[in-house]
Amino acid sequence: MSDESANSPERYVTPASLSYSIFSAKEEQAEEVCIPGWVKYLSGPVWVSSAERRISYINDEALELLGVEIGDCFGRPCYEVIGATDESHRRFCSESCRLRRLAESHGKLKPTQLQLRSSDGKTHWIQLVVIPIEDSINGGTSLVHYAINEDHLHAIKSYLVTITKRTHREQTEGEPSRYFQLTKREREILKLLTEDETLWSIAHKLNVSYSTVRNHAQHILAKLGVHSIIEAVAYYLVAQDTD
């Protein structure tokens, strides 16, 4: 038996389920729970809360995201361990979990964007997908929580908002839009960039060399007074809205 398996709370694994004995420090007793086997193979932060709203499973990715140890999670109320808030910084995780109420009433569970604060004080944005499962040992509904990390996407969105606000302010102060200083070809390339085309694909589409497109892109950045293609795309979108 490997060291890893010796330290795992897993009793046995079958294609159908995982059976665990989880020690609840609060109640000073062990609780056996049953979790579908596929949960173990999900890639990304995953945790499961039992029908009693306690953490009954959590993987290494979730522990890393939260910056906690396994011993700080098992048997504890999930809302205390996770402590997520919504986009308005209002507490989302609570004893009266909205997602659990929906699951137990057979309502539709939609992905939810939330933010978590890890033990080191860092804020992380996630898209949370919740899947209800039936606990065949204790009865009731357990909830599988699958978190998709959106830190990078949220950073890009925030960056674009900042750029578009700055650009809009410049335009409303009377400065002629720099967009109209672009040549017809440069506008064409910028429009293709907003459609998620790459410099290579644009070169192929326009039947020109990659270096030609790259030079046009550099001219676009210089004329618009921005430092990246993302900023240029944001500038273009604002220019279209204010035409």
The maximal CA–CA distance of the chain, rounded, in angstroms, is: 74
Q: Where are the domains of the chain?
A: 3-149, 154-241
User: Quick check: pTM over 0.95?
Assistant: no
CB atoms < 10 A from the CB of 160, how many?
16
Q: Determine the Cα–Cα distance for residues 111 and 148; give it in Å rounded to an integer.
A: 10
Q: Determine the Cα–Cα distance for residues 8 and 20; give it in Å rounded to an integer.
A: 9
- Which residues does residue 130 pair with via DSSP β-bridges, in sequence order? 145
Of 143, 145, 141, whose CA–CA distance to 128 is shortest?
A: 145
Crossing angle of helices 184-194 and 199-206, in 10° steps, is 130
Q: Tell me the pLDDT of the chain (243 aa) as tens digits.
A: 444 444 444 333 333 445 444 433 344 444 556 677 788 888 889 999 988 898 988 899 999 999 888 888 888 999 999 999 987 888 999 888 889 999 888 888 888 889 988 888 888 888 899 999 887 777 788 899 999 888 766 666 666 666 656 555 555 444 446 666 889 999 899 889 888 888 999 999 999 999 999 999 999 988 888 788 887 887 777 666 554
Per the document, the length of the chain is: 243
CATH architecture, domain defined by 154-241 = 3-Layer(aba) Sandwich (3.40)
CATH topology match: 3-149 vs 154-241:
no
Q: Which CATH superfamily is domain 3-149 in?
A: PAS domain (3.30.450.20)
Residue indicated by tokens 């989302």? 92
